[in-house]
Each structure stands twice: as C-alpha cells, then as structure tokens.
Structure 1
Amino acid sequence: MAAALAAGSIALGGAVQAQGALPAVQQQGSVQFVTGGVGLDESEAMKAASKDYPLALTFAARGNGRAGLYLADVAVQILDRTGKPVLDAKADGPYLLAKLPAGTYRVKATSGGVEQTRQVSVRPGSTARAVFEWKD
C-alpha cells in the first residue's frame, strides 16, 4: 500500500511539474490562448494541456531529407465564420492552444512570408487540431 501511494505521489508530482512548464495564458478579447512548446518540458506541458483547449495548432517545417522541424515566430490569425478576426497573435513556439466557442473558423498562419490557411470546426467537448507544415 505504501509503495502504491509513493508511486502515485511520484506520478502526480510529474504531472504538476509538466503543468508548471506551461507558458502563461494570454487573453485577446474573449479568447484565452497559450503559445510555446520550445524545449522538452514546455513541449510536453503544451501537449498535455491541449485536452483543455478547443483548438490546438502545430507549426513545423520539412525538407532536405528532414521532417518535423518545429517552428516558432509564426503569425497566426483566426477568423470567425463572418471573417471577423477573433485572434491575431504570434506563436512563440510550435504550438498554439486557444479557447474558442463552438463554430467554424478560418486559421491563417504565416512563416517566412508564406501564408497557409486551414478551416477548422470547433465542437463542444473536443479539441480541433490543425497542423501547418512549410517546406524548408
């Protein structure tokens, strides 16, 4: 019993530690969001926190025989179904998590002067995911 409690405490301590590595929550208008994921601890914290956010975006590059190189400093604009911007931010790392109400959104992400667009549908109780990948 004591061993099980000790193991549970260690596991819980790891979860608290990962949550502590999460960058600060920011707010723009009514949208709360977090950007980051640079470094292993922060990356793991962002992945773990994604379940609490209706939208999770990932930014990466590939090319020259390489795949999955994560990007930072990506300009992100999220527009509602009427074309009104609800978030205009710069991602400080390869992940951006946003708390958005249910609905359909157009997400524009720009890296190195190249813009990509995705349409995402945010539904209650789930996380919509979009990956943006640029050729290196």
Structure 2
Amino acid sequence: MPSRSGVAAALCCGVALLAGLASTAQAAANPPIQMTGGIEYMCGGATREEAAFLQMVAPRWSTQLEFTVNRGQAGAFPVPVQVKVRDRYNGYAVMQTWATGPTMLARLEPGAYEVEAVAGGISVVRQVTVIGGYAARAQFVFPSNVDYAALAQPARTMAQATRRP
C-alpha cells in the first residue's frame, strides 16, 4: 500500500504538470513582443483573452495606445493601423510600425511625443508624455463612415512587405 507522503508527492507532481501545460497554452495565445528601432512593443486585443492579457500587463509598459472606430463595438478597430512616433520637440522619428490589434503597448523612454495613427488614409494625432514610473495612455478614434475592411487588404499587404523576419 502506498504511503500518504508518496500519494501526496504524486498528486503535487500532477498538479504542477497541469499548471505547466496550462501556462504553456496561455503563453502561446499571448501576443508576441516585437521590436522596431530599438523599442519593444506588443499589439493585440482582438480576442477577449488577448484584451484581458494586455489589460493585465499594461501597467508594466510605459505607453498604451488604443485604436477604435467611433461608435464601434468594443474591440472594433481599423486594421492595420500605421503608427508613427516622433519626438515632440525636434520631430525626429522614434518609431514607425503597424498595429495589428486595437491595443498597442510600447516601451517608450520618458519624453514628449507626437503619435500619429493612420488607417484608411485618415490620420489621427495625439500628444503623449511619458513620465518615468507612470504609464501614458492615448486613444485614437477613427470615424465610422469609412469602409476600413475594403481598405485593409492593400494595407495588410504593405504591412507584411515592410515587416522584417
């Protein structure tokens, strides 16, 4: 007859194994951290799970950008969105990439920035100030009278062509 300590040890190993498998499955669903111009960023939030994950980790990132369509449902956004970040005072380009989800988290250094988001030829600009230790947040609301779905395919092709492996 197995001892109680042996059964307990086997039970603990089983629980640890299941927890490890669950965390591996969860990690596979999380959006990847990418880098452009030396700046880390992460895009996502199209699914409920991604949105919850990004909301959970957002305080650990210096900047949170949200892209929505005016009067759109939660999570409705024009895909993809070209994002250009410039130093507010000298105009130097800091970061330029494509957001592939309604939320973008970025690790911008403390400073003052002008962030331009372009979707379907429509540009929305916000001023963002990143202060060390505090997460900056900006929301980009695009008009609802544009057929972003029709415009998305050429932009997706362009985004894939400019993305480096």
Question: Is 1:135 paired with 2:143?
Answer: yes
User: What percentage of residue pairs aligned between the two structures are identical?
Assistant: 31
Q: Secondary structure at the match of 1:70?
A: coil
Match of 1:91 among 96, 99, 109: 99
Match of 1:70 among 53, 61, 76: 76
Once residues 58 and 18 of structure 1 are traced to their aligned partners in structure 2, the CA distance between those partners, rounded to angstroms, is 23
Alignment TM-score, normalising by the size of structure 1: 0.80
Paired letter, 1:74: V
Asked if structure 2 preserves the Cα contact closer than 8 Å seen for 1:62 and 1:69, the reply is no
- 1:54 counterpart residue number: 62
Alignment TM-score, normalising by the size of structure 2: 0.67
Asked if structure 1 preserves the Cα contact closer than 8 Å seen for 2:116 and 2:126, the reply is yes
The RMSD of aligned alpha carbons is: 2.2
Asked if structure 2 preserves the Cα contact closer than 8 Å seen for 1:61 and 1:68, the reply is no
Matches within 5 A, 1:1-136: 21-63=29-71, 66=72, 68-71=74-77, 72-81=79-88, 82-136=90-144
Corresponding residue pairs, total: 123
Once residues 20 and 49 of structure 1 are traced to their aligned partners in structure 2, the CA distance between those partners, rounded to angstroms, is 16
Q: Secondary structure at the match of 2:32?
A: coil
- 1:3 counterpart residue number: none
Q: Which runs of 4+ in 1 moved over 6 A?
A: none
Deviation at 1:85, TM superposition (A): 1.2
Bigger Rg over Cα: 2
Higher strand share: 1
Write out per-residue CA displacement over residues 29-52 of structure 1, whole angstroms, 9 at most, x where no aligned residue. Answer: 221000111111111111111111
Paired letter, 1:56: Q
Q: Any unmatched runs of 5+ in structure 2?
A: 1-18, 145-165
Bigger relative CO (Cα 8 Å, ≥ 6 apart): 1
In structure 2, do the counterparts of structure 1 residues 19 and 126 end up closer, same or farther at CA, with 3 Å as the change threshold? farther
Q: Secondary structure at the match of 2:84?
A: strand
Deviation at 1:73, TM superposition (A): 0.7
